[in-house]
Amino acid sequence: MKHLRSNLIATTVAAAVTLGAAATASAFTACQVTDTGGIDDNSFNQTAWKGVQDAEAQLGIDGRFLESQAETDYEANINSLLGECDIILTIGFLLGDATQTAAEANPDQKFSIVDFAYDPTIPNVLGQVYATDQAAFLAGYLAAGMSETGILGTFGGINIPPVTIFMDGFHAGAMYYNEQKSADVQVLGWNPESREGLFTNNFESLDDGRAFAQNLYDEGADIVLPVAGPVGLGSAALADELGTDALKIIGVDADLYLTDPEKGHVYLTSIMKNMDSTVFQVIQSAKDGTFEGGVIVGTLESGGVGLAPYHDMDAIVSDELKAEIDAIKAGIIDGSIKVGM
């Protein structure tokens, strides 16, 4: 009996070890490398990470992330994950070169990058880009319709396409309002023709966010669109102090009413890039074996971009203006209203 019990224990332990090894071997891991804004930036890194977390909950995968403290961390962070992850997700335009270098040197490793697309495409990299100018067009029209001063303001973090596409759409939407209403709303901070405007040259400084918004407010702007990740939280703090009758903020990337709850009441709306949705789709394709390199584009039609609800400001947005926004959205989707320059 003692011999039988010993054999049983040995067999059970061996089985447990085998099962544990199998579970470890079969676990699918998705790893995210952030831009310098960090994983909790209330913006695109955090929204992308939500896509990983959704995949953990719904697909049973493991998720990991590495935060980049400086641009010099990008290559090292990516390289440290090679061979450890089934797919590596790099977040942000500025990781484009480091991602390409790693992908071309490791063709069997799957990559996906948010806010970047390669031309020509790379077989093991899936780019995630967003027609944020479509949603920003709606925000520009909305802001023009809500402004009491007839002056809007915007500024960016760095003069790169994923930033300026918001500013392009915002400016175009305000100009469309002028055309439709014979109005003369101005947009300070960005010239879509010269490609020049206001930029903090960083995505971290809340002090810069406050200062840039203050300068625009001093020039008459009563609604400001900061396109600078966490920098925009400084603008929201200013609006909180001045009061929303004086200054309202439009958020970017996520619904900042939800991700910046202490200052949520200052946001008229947010221009959302639903990166959590596309990140989840990419992870799912990598897990089920349908992953292919190339590009996916989030649009108003696909739900990849959109406007957040008006939340606390819903009551002050007229039914007429809401209906116009809905009609413009439909026009952009069916192609009757053109957003691009």
What superfamily does domain 28-130+276-298 belong to in CATH?
A: Response regulator (3.40.50.2300)
Indicate the helix (H) or strand (E) that contains 56: helix 44-59
Residue 8 has pLDDT above 50, yes or no: no
pLDDT average, residue stretch 39-54: 93
At residue 191, the 3 state secondary structure works out as: strand
Residue 126 has pLDDT above 80, yes or no: yes
Average pLDDT over the chain reads 92
The pLDDT score that the predictor gives to residue 15 is 34
Nearest to residue 179, comparing CAs of 26, 9, 328?
328
Residue 168 has pLDDT above 80, yes or no: yes
pLDDT average, residue stretch 81-92: 97
Between CA 95 and CA 116 the distance in angstroms is: 8
The pLDDT score that the predictor gives to residue 341 is 58
Nearest to residue 296, comparing CAs of 286, 310, 287?
286
Distances (CA, A) of 164 to 38, 198, 282: 21, 11, 25
227 vs 12: which has the higher pLDDT? 227
pLDDT average, residue stretch 145-159: 98
Residue 25 has pLDDT above 70, yes or no: no
pLDDT average, residue stretch 101-117: 97
Residue 22 has pLDDT above 50, yes or no: no
pLDDT average, residue stretch 26-44: 90
The pLDDT score that the predictor gives to residue 44 is 86
The pLDDT score that the predictor gives to residue 340 is 78
Tell me what percent of the residues of the chain surpass a pLDDT of 70: 92
Chain position carrying tokens 């809905």 = 326
Confidence of residue 332 (pLDDT cuts 50, 70, 90): very high
The pLDDT score that the predictor gives to residue 298 is 94
CATH architecture of the domain 133-272+310-334 equals: 3-Layer(aba) Sandwich (3.40)
Which long-range contacts link 58-62 to residues 24+ away (Cβ below 8 Å)? Answer: 58/280, 59/28, 59/283, 59/284, 59/287, 60/28, 61/27, 61/28, 61/29, 61/30, 61/283, 61/287, 62/27, 62/28, 62/29, 62/30
Between CA 109 and CA 106 the distance in angstroms is: 6
Instruction: Identify any residues that bridge with 91 across adjacent strands, giving them in sequence order.
Output: 114
pLDDT average, residue stretch 45-50: 95
End-to-end CA distance of the chain: 84
The pLDDT score that the predictor gives to residue 43 is 84
pLDDT average, residue stretch 89-117: 97
Assigned token pair, 195: 């490609």
Between CA 156 and CA 164 the distance in angstroms is: 7
26 vs 322: which has the higher pLDDT? 322
Assigned token pair, 13: 């332990």
Q: 192 exposed, middle or buried (CB, 10 Å; 0-12, 13-18, 19+)?
A: middle
Between CA 92 and CA 107 the distance in angstroms is: 21
201-256 per-position pLDDT tens digit: 999 999 999 999 999 999 999 999 999 999 999 999 999 999 999 999 999 999 99
Domain span(s) for CATH 3.40.50.2300 in the chain: 28-130+276-298, 133-272+310-334
Distance of CA 189 to the CA centre of its chain: 21
Nearest to residue 86, comparing CAs of 162, 145, 31, 17?
31
pLDDT average, residue stretch 183-211: 97
Specify whether the CB–CB gap between 31 and 66 falls below 8 A. yes
Torsions phi, psi for 88 (to 5 deg)? -110, 125
Q: Which residues are CB-contacts of 286 (< 8 A; sequence separation ≥ 6)?
A: 28, 30, 86, 87, 110, 112
* Mean pLDDT lowest among 19-28, 55-64, 80-89, 161-170: 19-28
